[in-house]
Amino acid sequence: MQTVLITGCSSGFGLEIARHFLERDWRVIATMRTPREDVLPRSERLRVLALDVTDAESIRRAVEAAGPIDVLVNNAGFGAASPLELAPMATARALFETNTLGTLALTQAVLPQFRERRAGVVVNVTSSVTLKALPLVGVYSASKAAVNAFTESMAVELEPFGVRVRLVLPGRSPETRFGDNARPNMHGMDHEAYAGLVADVLARMRDTSGPVTYSTDVAEAVWRAATDPASPLRIPAGEDAVAWAAER
């Protein structure tokens, strides 16, 4: 029986990914900053651990408590939106600290066991906003694009050790709490110079009549990344993400 450790499991994509692996008889280590066992089905194959990817000691404790794992899924992160001119540096630093450096730090903590066993899979969940220039999410997109970049380099470095590395790029989802979580990190959205742009972007974000991404799309893409050695390095998840990847 194989074991997967997933970050950011309290809601959204992470929660659905954890459910997906549980349903397929894997051992699941679901991590979140504030552990909540009630969000997942009861199972002897489930462990819920506290993990803050921005805290080195929290990472050390979680990796030690988890023991040997076969797959690491870096999903934890948060969003923010603002015209680049008005993006607070504190928010920019927080985005990179969680989305980029948090992913890097946890991956570094897990890689030694993969390399020594000459087996293991790292799946980094980023975003399809890295595939297309979009207004108001420049800093968020940069934090995810940085993960894409080091993931691609890491894939080459680890191939000789039998360790596989994959990227999953979700599209826009009407199901997750991304928008709610991003709202406190929206800045400059009422600035008169950007009023027309902001109104247009927010209207498009609220419009779910076109292609979108569902949590199940992301869970299936992560499953493919974790279990299919023939899967590509980059896997778009969701109808909109697939379309953007094709355009690119």
Query: Cα(78)–Cα(63) distance, rounded to whole angstroms?
Result: 22
Fill in the DSSP letter of residue 192.
G
Of 79, 89, 70, 85, whose CA–CA distance to 29 is shortest? 70
Give φ, ψ of 215 to 5 degrees: -55, -35
CB 53 within 8 A of CB 103: yes
Q: Is the C-alpha dihedral spanning 54, 55, 56, 60 positive or negative?
A: negative
Question: Which is the catalytic residue, given 21, 78, 140, 244?
Answer: 140
Q: Is 214 a catalytic residue?
A: no
- 235: helix, coil or strand? strand
- Annotated catalytic residues are 140
